[in-house]
Amino acid sequence: MATASNQSLFLWINQLGPATSDPLWANITVLGDTLVALALCLPLWRRRPDLVWAVLFAVLLATLWVQGLKPIADVPRPPAVLAELHVIGPAYKAGSFPSGHATTAFTLAGIIAFGFASRITLGVAVALASVVALSRAVVGVHWPLDILAGAFGGWLSAAIAVRLARHTLDFGLKPYVQWVLGCLLVIFSILLVYGHHRSGYPQALQFQRIIGLACLLFAGARLIRDFRSRPGL
């Protein structure tokens, strides 16, 4: 903002689309879609129920961050300002700040990083979230400042969510709470398998189905193993 480089930096990043592949960036950017991100939490259900409980807080906080700032900032998106740019998918024109996809990507990355406390995990999570966040400029619908604000809000939401979850684990780990959360994540994954068009990127429809199916299979295998390991079974 201080150097007035928001627009020039956007145009530089945006050129990555024509220089590479539109379907590639469409598939990358859907990883920041809320439904896709929630489906990706399903494999954690039986393995790390504490993190699944943290996801609930993270969703609420991240939603408050995005939906609270968008109407206040009321920043027009690049397609509403620039005559020449490369757009992949819907050419949204309003509600630019902050980026919801960047917020979602860094919320999930933060949950994973804080939950597993590994430098390798931290590096991979941040790297993937950064690529997903930058894809919002590549597809032409967010300014760099939107992306930075989304990344900050997502990471902050994850940090607070993990802390809140640790202080409320007695309730969050109750079997009926975990089953409710697990069933919701299963529903989100099933929606991906049957075709989730709200993301606005038809090029990524097959990828979303693969994600949903993979998450269902992973969680199902883990659930079967847990039941078989019970005494008397």
Cβ within 8 Å of residue 214, ≥6 positions away: none
Domain containing 34: what range? 8-228
Does 110 fall in a domain?
A: yes
Q: pLDDT higher for 138 or 2?
A: 138
pLDDT band for 105, please (50, 70, 90 cuts): very high
Output DSSP code: residue 32. G
In the block, residue with structure tokens 């990524």: 204
In the block, residue with structure tokens 């859907």: 30
145-156 pLDDT per residue, tens: 999 999 999 999
Does 168 fall in a domain?
A: yes
Does 1 fall in a domain?
A: no
Does 46 fall in a domain?
A: yes
Does 233 fall in a domain?
A: no
What is the pLDDT averaged over residues 94-119? 95
What is the pLDDT averaged over residues 154-165? 98
Output DSSP code: residue 199. T
48-61 pLDDT per residue, tens: 999 999 999 999 99
pLDDT of residue 200: 86
The enclosing domain of 33 has a CATH number of: 1.20.144
Check: CB of residue 208 under 8 Å from CB of residue 188: no
The strand ranges marked E within the chain are: none
Does 2 fall in a domain?
A: no
Q: Structurally, how many domains does the chain consist of?
A: 1
pLDDT band for 227, please (50, 70, 90 cuts): confident
What is the pLDDT averaged over residues 111-125? 93
d(CA 96, CA 78): 8
164-220 pLDDT per residue, tens: 999 999 999 999 999 999 999 999 999 999 886 667 899 999 999 999 999 999 999
Does 3 fall in a domain?
A: no
pTM over 0.75: yes
Quote the crossing angle between the two packed helices 49-73 and 100-116, to the nearest 10°: 150
What is the pLDDT averaged over residues 12-33? 96
What is the separation, in whole angstroms, between the first and last Cα of the chain? 62
pLDDT of residue 92: 93
Does 48 fall in a domain?
A: yes
Whether the pLDDT of residue 3 is over 90: the answer is no
User: Would you state the torsion angle of the CA atoms of residues 9, 12, 15, 21, taken in this order, to the nearest 10 degrees?
Assistant: -70
